Amino acid sequence: MGDAHTARLAAARAAGLDYVSVAAVDWQGRLRAKQIQLAALPQAFTSGIALTSAIFATDSAERPIETSRFQDPANGYRDALLRADQNAVYGDAFGSTPEGLLVLGSLVDEHRVYCPRAIVQRELDALAALGFEAYGAFEYEFHLLQETPQSLLAKTPALLARLPELTRMYSYVDQSLTAPLFEALRQAATRSGSPLESLHAEFSGLLEAALVPAAGMAIADRAVVFKALCKTLARRQGLMAVFMAQLADSFESAGAHLNLSLRADDAPAFPQAGAAQGVSATLRHFVGGLQRYTPGLTLLHLPHLNSYKRFVGTSFAPRANQWGIDNKTCAWRVVTATPALTRIECRLPGADVAPHFALAAVLAAGRRGLEERIEPGAPCAGDAAQATPGGPAFPFRFEAAIAAWRAAPLAHEVFGSDFVEAYAVSREWQLELLRRRVTDFDLQQFAEGV
């Protein structure tokens, strides 16, 4: 257990804390927690605690997925076993006392194949067998709205009320007006153990929060913790923090960029002095794997029907399976400012991504590139969307991404056929719900026109 985690546990015990939250991560990238007595935490670390497997039986709006293998009354909605992780002890930023704890864990035994953290751990272990450790962080783009879950029920996207103090890109004045909110978010992130490296306003009221880099599982763990505390803080302020990929035509799309590097023997493995553009063979082969195998794993990066609206019209979402040096039009932006900061910025995911799945997909594709010594296409220096494709095209339609996921050999090899099918079914449910629903588009298009 790390020093910070040990210190948090010691402080909780010294403060006489009664209860602690222990959480799993679901397929939407949300924390599903239950409170247990602090005295029972050692048992949670060793033997685990019961947590319903129905955390996988609902969609992003908490509707039961009727076709899900976990929506199964005949099977009694069996419990899963959640084992708390001694290296994933975070502060409860909004607990009743400063010593409050949030401990993340992974499902074990028969449910391990469906657990996002367990899936990531398998890839981290496979990477370690090659002599590498993953290091990096997510940066989230999201909107703050002057809305509540109740007010949304009476709104169409065009009527959403954005926070008026945040309307201009990188505006010092706008950010000064929201300084108390920014500071509260920074403090909550630090208290939780998911500190922010930077926070600023981007386009059309979009905020971008970059997390401090970490190693291994913490790359994704910190992202889900930050997202949860961001939503909690906003609700306490009478606002909503919204991580949809695309809200409305007047809003900029929102991404969740994964900045990733590899280390070998505690040294950066991506830079190489004297090599072309300072890029090592390790970095090239990793990018080669991303280009070749990510199209079949796109569903893990773009998990919702709304995810694909980010790639329609004008936005900063990458359109092509290209890589380039400091080129933000590419899906794989390679940053080589200094050897220590050399990394790949994976720009494909939207803000609605489940961080553990995106991390697992990147590690799996990149690892295969290392194993097969795959050379990427030539780096792109201009608009990637206008350049010759560097790799197979991404399936930028939801139905196509589901089909590509089911057909991808790497998905079955890495994630297992049981998970591949269960996850595909959970995504198809969104299409079924849309087919059943009469939308504002239907009314505007057909009420008078037919």
- Sequence ranges of the domains in the chain: 1-111+421-450, 127-415
Task: Provide the pLDDT for residue 2.
Answer: 66
1-111+421-450: CATH, from 3.10.20.70, 1.10.150.120, 3.40.50.2000, 3.40.50.300: 3.10.20.70
pLDDT digits (tens, 9 = 90+) for 192-201: 999 999 998 8
Whose CA is closest to 396, among 292, 345, 320? 320
pLDDT digits (tens, 9 = 90+) for 61-81: 999 999 998 887 776 678 999
Distance between CA 386 and CA 230 in Å, rounded?
37
Distance between CA 439 and CA 386 in Å, rounded?
35
Q: How many CA atoms lie within 13 A of 165 on its CB side?
A: 15
Distance between CA 299 and CA 281 in Å, rounded?
28
Distance between CA 294 and CA 390 in Å, rounded?
12
**CB–CB of 355/220 below 8 Å?**
yes
Average pLDDT of the chain is 92
127-415: CATH, from 3.20.20.140, 3.90.230.10, 3.30.590.10, 3.40.50.300: 3.30.590.10
- Note the pTM of the prediction, 2 decimals: 0.95
Question: Of the given ranges (65-69, 135-139, 158-162, 416-420), which has the lowest mean pLDDT?
Answer: 158-162
- The answer on pLDDT for 96 being more than 80 is no
Q: How many contiguous H segments (helices) and E segments (strands) does the chain have?
A: 13, 15
Q: At CA 39, angle to CA 38 and CA 43, rounded to 5? A: 100
Task: Provide the pLDDT for residue 326.
Answer: 94
pLDDT digits (tens, 9 = 90+) for 279-313: 999 999 999 999 999 999 999 999 999 999 999 87
69 against 228, higher pLDDT: 228
Q: What percent of the chain has pLDDT over 70?
A: 99
